[in-house]
Chain A
Amino acid sequence: MTLFFHGVADPMKQFEVKKLFELPPIFGFDVSFTNASLWMLVGVGLCIALFGYAASRGKIVPNRLQSIGEIGYGFVADMIRSTAGEEGLRFFPFVFTLFFFILFANLIGMSPYAFTTTSHIIVTGMLALLVISIVIVFGLWKNGLKFFGLFAPSLGDMPLLGKLVIYAILIPIEIISFIARPLTLSLRLFANMLAGHILLKLFAGFAVTGVTVGGIGLLVAPLAFGMGIALNALEFLVAGLQAYVFAILTCVYLNDALHPSH
């Protein structure tokens, strides 16, 4: 029985990275093509295929697939407009790439035997670092030192002493929350994908072991199976939602770089 659990129900096995092709190291770093790389490639390929098709068809009257591509375009554009204004549209290609890269990775992860690239902290962490780097570099380039006004929101009319007291409390909080941004941004996506896939695997495992154990297990198995189905639906929601959250928070942070004074 232990052997059986070992083979099937280990919920961590799905996150294991395996080398598929050994590649010569670059600057001493092992950059071998792994299963993670493969599924990332699949996601990027599907993304390019879908939007490439929508772009190359380019008819005035769209068919369904072209319509889907154009709805994606309008969706991201509206998201940026509503959070960062018209000026935010200069980051449209970046936010678009980010949103659909994560969405495709999350959704591909929902297919059995596929690898969820966004369930690795290194991937989500790099994406979050990229976002924050762009916010900082662009914010400083556009606003100069005024960018740091981000940490000291204007308080309006108030006696000087009151202002000093409030700033003494507020500025550290703002700085900490700014530093926390890349952490929360990366951890949220990573933890959601990881936990969701572990849960799916666990309940699927319960169903299978319930049947093989027999006895009371036969009663547990259908419940676990039903739970697995419900969780599957939930995970599809989470896959879309987390991509959306990542993209919209990116827009909010970019808005700070565009307009640092609250």
Chain B
Amino acid sequence: MLAIILAADAASGAEQAAFPPFETWHFPSQVFWLVLLFGTLYIVLSRFILPSIGNTLERRESTIASDLDEAARLNDEAVQAQKAVEVSIAKAHAKARETADKARSKIDKDIAAETAKVDAEVDKKLAEAETRIAALRADAMKNVEAIASDAAESVVAKFGSKAGKADVSKAVKSALGEG
């Protein structure tokens, strides 16, 4: 079958010019249009299209680069802001602690002063009271002596003996002192 087809091809080939690419009549036309069209394509591409595409690619690259820079800058800024916030929080903490400490120490001082004052007053009152008690006691003792002396004098008188007033009081005094 292949032989039939090849024979047929050979037959048809023999009728026409054998090989179109080697026919020379169209060479000038081919060269003319090739030069014209290839030249046109070259000029259009090199003058207008390729610089424009190159420009776009460059613009894209620089846009991406500048966007990345901007992102990095904003990131830095955010980090700085966070640091600033942390610092101000720490400062606020320190200030709060200081204020609290100050208030506490002031209150402590106040308390101490008040306590001292009250203590002093109490001491003073106690001392006063003690002196008063002592005075009252001494007074009372004097009265007791007098009464005891009187009582002793009268007892002694009742027994029928006379005793000097001074002796009696002396004895009473010594008895009281012992008691």
Contacts and interface: CB of A to CB of B under 8 A. Distances in A.
Contacts of A126: 30-31, 34-35
Contacts of A54: 49, 53
A166 interface: no
A34 B37 CA distance: 13
Nearest to A36: B30
B37 A40 contact: yes
A6 B11 contact: yes
Interface in A84-143: 92-94, 96-97, 100-101, 119-123, 126-127
Interface of B: 1, 4-5, 8-9, 11-13, 16, 18-23, 25-35, 37-38, 40-42, 44-46, 48-50, 52-57, 59-60, 63
Interface of A: 1-2, 5-6, 9-12, 15-17, 19, 26, 29-34, 36-37, 40-41, 44, 47-48, 51-52, 54-56, 58-60, 69-70, 73-74, 92-94, 96-97, 100-101, 119-123, 126-127, 190, 194, 205-206, 209-210, 213, 216-217, 220
A30 B29 contact: yes
- Judged by DSSP, the binding face of B is helix
16 contacts: A5-B5, A9-B8, A10-B9, A12-B18, A12-B19, A12-B20, A29-B29, A31-B32, A37-B30, A37-B33, A41-B37, A52-B49, A54-B53, A58-B56, A70-B56, A119-B21
B52 A58 contact: yes
Given A10-B12, A30-B29, A55-B48, A122 B41 contact: no
A36 B63 CA distance: 45
Contacts of B60: 60
A101 B99 CA distance: 84
B46 to A, nearest CB: 3
Nearest to A210: B1
Given A47-B41, A60-B60, A101-B41, A5 B12 contact: yes
Given A30-B25, A30-B28, A58-B56, A48 B12 contact: no
B49 A55 contact: yes
A60 B20 CA distance: 48
B28 A15 contact: no
B12 A122 contact: no
Contacts of A40: 33-34, 37
B5 A205 contact: yes
